[in-house]
Amino acid sequence: MELDLAGTELRAVLNRLRRAQGQISGVIRMIEEGRDCEEVVTQLAAASRALDRAGFAIIATGLQQCLTDIDGSENTGEDREQMRARLEKLFLSLA
């Protein structure tokens, strides 16, 4: 399953990933500086949410593309079931 993120979708995902990257760098700095545990955990939770949102955006785009591919091709019921199982596994990996 190849992911084709177009224009706006790609920019949104990349922005979320960059935000998470910055937040993770901030968490590392905070730990190195001996900052308050509550502040570190709050920043880490924000980074985790940013990563989750990026993952869900990628999966949502993949679902849309896969459904379009399935509807427009001669896939068998078995192909569809395999694709559904793969997408379900991806979705659950973020849960």
Provide the residue-wise pLDDT of the chain in tens; the chain has 95 residues: 455 566 677 788 888 899 999 999 999 999 999 999 999 999 999 999 989 888 888 877 777 766 666 555 555 666 777 777 877 787 777 76
Q: How much is the pLDDT for 67?
A: 65
Taking residue 51's Cβ as centre, other Cβ atoms within 10 Å add up to: 18
Helix, strand or coil, per DSSP, at residue 93 = helix
User: What are 14's two structure tokens?
Assistant: 């990349």
The pTM for the full model equals 0.67
Q: Which residue has the tokens 């190195």?
A: 32
Residue 16 CA to residue 25 CA, distance in Å, equals: 14
Residue 50 CA to residue 19 CA, distance in Å, equals: 7
